[in-house]
């Protein structure tokens, strides 16, 4: 149901939560809440506003790609190195500065979505509901959306403000904490969300989080926090549900006509057609977009030769992932389509799918026959022979390789390199620089430190 989360349906009160003083944690002003957050209908609208934050340029629409994928060795800035593209090149080559617009936009848009979720969770128990099941579902959805945004902020910036309560005044104490503390809190939130959310939704509610989406994200968060046993429990519940399966053909995962397929667990929805809810992925990843590059407002992504060379002979994912018609200019087929207009594609962002769950579960379990069994399910779909402990390479090397080619351009590579302890060595080799120049965290936007200099400190290296 691709019209569910349209910005046009969200009252302005939900989209104007930022104050001039501290954009990241700003409250909703008194004039906005006087007659809202009272009824079930109000909260049905409000949760749509929380989901809408996932469509913002600073989150999934553009910047998470830059900070989670372009940052790594699969993709590269394709917009040039000067003019409007200079900051993109800096992000790609570890030369970014704390005043980069992309960093501030990501911070602001993510925390705006978090603020919407905080307001929902703070006020929902005092509202009139005709259906308590709907109240529980909206709570679970708000916890899921907030956790998804916090996960990305923690991976990107590391040391971020811990704000899990509604801010009702600009005069709040900013509590900056390490990523591990954020991961611990959202692990608790996702476990709660898992208990509140339904296991399935109707076709008219496609795109809403389910209990299995919460469990899958919970497994991912536990891995990021080094809690492999807890991750395995959460991920195994998704597998045991029997609700998802790998599609027979990897190519059938992609494209607007294949959304919400049997492998899809959670997708960020976009709607083409000129209603201001489209996605820019065709423009970013393919030559078939209409935006015209950086000057048209998008951030073109090139495919690195490193990634082209990463596929084993006979891997069916190569032809389904890349167009190699021009060997000197490969592009990503996962996002191909016919856009309505520049940055107005209807292609969703598939954020969680079953193949990731299987590979995450293999990682959580560690080397052994069961873990190789999950990896080999993914390899079999790609037409590749199974691997085991006798296959050359360490378990981590084999798993990281499998994740690279399976989940390419899905915003997983940078987090994987960090989690596997390979970010510095891989990126230094990729860029031909020393490991000392590779920063694992992006700088906190300088404007946020300037607002609260006694409470916020910059990440090392900036």
Is domain 1-178+428-457 classified as CATH 3.20.20.140? no
Question: pLDDT at position 276, please?
Answer: 86
pLDDT at 18 over 90: no
* Angle at which helices 132-157 and 40-52 cross, to 10°: 20
Question: pLDDT at position 32, please?
Answer: 56
Residue 352 dihedral angles phi and psi, to the nearest 5°: -135, 125
Cα(274)–Cα(344) distance, integer angstroms: 6
For the segment 135-161, the average pLDDT, to the nearest whole number, is 98
For the chain, the farthest-separated pair of C-alpha atoms sits apart, in whole angstroms, at 66
pLDDT at 23 over 70: no
Helix, coil or strand: residue 250: helix
pLDDT at 197 over 70: yes
DSSP strand pairing (301-303 vs 322-323): unpaired
Calculate the average pLDDT of the chain.
92
pLDDT at 253 over 60: yes
pLDDT at 6 over 50: no
Which residues, in sequence order, are bridge partners of residue 76?
302
Domains of the chain, residue spans: 1-178+428-457
| Burial grade of 68 (CB within 10 A; 0-12, 13-18, 19 or more) | buried
* Angle at which helices 211-224 and 132-157 cross, to 10°: 30
pLDDT at 31 over 80: no
Question: pLDDT at position 173, please?
Answer: 86
Q: Provide the whole-model pTM.
A: 0.94
| Buried/exposed code over 5-29 (b: 16+ C-beta within 10 A; e: otherwise) | bbbeebeebbeebbbeebbbbbbbe
First CA to last CA across the chain, in angstroms? Answer: 44
pLDDT at 172 over 90: no
Helix, coil or strand: residue 383: coil
Query: What is the rounded radius of gyration, in angstroms, for the C-alpha atoms of the chain?
Result: 21
* pLDDT interval class at 33 (50, 70, 90): low
Cα(157)–Cα(459) distance, integer angstroms: 8
Cα(452)–Cα(461) distance, integer angstroms: 20
* pLDDT interval class at 124 (50, 70, 90): very high
Structure tokens belonging to residue 325 = 């018609």
Question: pLDDT at position 34, please?
Answer: 61
**26 and 107 Cβ atoms separated by less than 8 Å:** no
Cα(278)–Cα(6) distance, integer angstroms: 10
The rounded percent of the chain whose pLDDT value lies above 70 is 93
Residue 268 dihedral angles phi and psi, to the nearest 5°: -85, 120
């Amino acid at each position: 149901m691709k019209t569910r989360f349209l910005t046009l349906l969200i009252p302005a009160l939900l989209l104007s939560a930022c104050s001039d003083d501290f954009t990241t944690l700003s409250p909703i002003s008194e004039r906005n809440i006087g007659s809202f957050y009272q009824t079930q209908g109000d909260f049905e609208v409000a949760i749509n506003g929380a989901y809408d934050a996932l469509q913002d340029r600073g989150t999934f629409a553009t910047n998470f790609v830059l900070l989670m994928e372009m940052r790594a060795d699969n993709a590269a800035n394709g917009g040039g190195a000067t003019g409007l593209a200079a900051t993109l090149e800096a992000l790609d080559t570890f030369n970014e500065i704390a005043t980069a617009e992309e960093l501030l936009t990501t911070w602001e848009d993510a925390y705006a979505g978090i603020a919407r979720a905080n307001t929902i969770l703070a006020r929902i128990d005092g509202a009139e509901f005709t259906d308590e099941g709907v109240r529980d579902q909206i709570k679970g959805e708000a916890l899921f959306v907030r956790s998804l945004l916090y996960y990305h902020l923690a991976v990107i910036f590391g040391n971020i403000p811990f704000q899990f309560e509604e801010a009702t005044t600009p005069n709040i104490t900013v509590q900056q904490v390490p990523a591990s503390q954020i991961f611990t809190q959202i692990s608790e939130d996702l476990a709660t969300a898992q208990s509140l959310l339904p296991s399935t939704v109707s076709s008219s509610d496609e795109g809403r989080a389910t209990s299995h989406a919460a469990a899958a994200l919970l497994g991912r968060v536990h891995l990021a926090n080094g809690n492999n046993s807890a991750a395995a429990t959460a991920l195994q519940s998704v597998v045991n549900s029997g609700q998802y399966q790998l599609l027979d053909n990897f190519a059938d995962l992609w494209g607007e006509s294949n959304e919400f397929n049997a492998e899809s667990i959670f997708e960020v929805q976009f709607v083409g057609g000129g209603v201001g809810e489209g996605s820019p992925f065709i423009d970013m990843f393919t030559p078939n977009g209409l935006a015209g590059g950086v000057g048209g407002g998008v951030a073109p992504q090139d495919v690195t030769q490193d990634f082209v060379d990463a596929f084993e002979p006979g891997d069916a994912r190569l032809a389904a992932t890349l167009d190699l018609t021009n060997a000197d200019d490969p592009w990503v087929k996962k996002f191909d389509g016919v856009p309505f207009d520049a940055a107005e594609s209807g292609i969703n962002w598939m954020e969680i799918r079953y193949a990731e769950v299987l590979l995450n579960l293999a990682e959580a379990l560690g080397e052994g026959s069961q873990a190789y069994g999950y990896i080999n399910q993914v390899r079999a779909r790609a037409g590749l022979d199974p691997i085991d402990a006798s296959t050359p390479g360490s378990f981590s090397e084999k798993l990281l390789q499998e994740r690279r080619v399976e989940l390419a351009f899905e915003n997983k590579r940078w987090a994987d390199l960090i989690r596997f302890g390979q970010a510095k060595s891989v990126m230094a080799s990729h860029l031909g620089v020393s490991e000392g120049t590779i920063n694992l965290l992006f700088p906190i936007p300088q404007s946020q430190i300037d607002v609260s200099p006694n409470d916020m400190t910059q990440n090392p290296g900036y």
